[in-house]
Amino acid sequence: MSNELDGAEDGVDAGNQVAAPTATAVLEHVVRSIVDDAEAVRVEGIPSKGRIKLQVKVGPGDLGRVIGRRGRTAQSIRTVVRAAGTRDGVEVDVDFVDD
């Protein structure tokens, strides 16, 4: 079975960069289109138990917009990003972090 990560293990390439470019780009695009302050959006990839955890940080007051009523927006974002992660050949989790 070929690994689309070019020899990377657990979704991390040789330079310790998280190898989920498609999932990260999709996540940033979706979140930036929802929030008021698109420049404050930060996505950090962290390898975790054979997966990649993408942590999203947004500006003050925007976390509620990203989570949505009863977490529906957040769950929809997670679904789309997980699908994009399959394109990268990795399993992806998305966490929304409040600073």
Are 43 and 27 in contact, with CB atoms under 8 Å apart? yes
Q: Residue 12 corresponds to which amino acid?
A: V
Residue 41, domain member (yes or no) = yes
User: In whole angstroms, what is the distance from residue 33 CA to residue 30 CA?
Assistant: 5
The tokens of 6 are what?
A: 């070019």
Residue 49, domain member (yes or no) = yes
The CATH number that applies at residue 79 is 3.30.300.20
Residue 14, domain member (yes or no) = no
What's the domain range around 44? 21-97
What is the tens place of the pLDDT at every residue in 63-91? 999 999 999 999 999 999 999 999 999 99
Residue 47, domain member (yes or no) = yes
pTM exceeds 0.75 for this model = yes
Asked if residue 36 has pLDDT above 70, the reply is: yes
pLDDT of 32 reads: 97
Average pLDDT of the segment spanning 7-21:
52
Beta strands at 51-57 and 92-97: parallel, antiparallel or unpaired:
parallel
Number of domains in the chain: 1
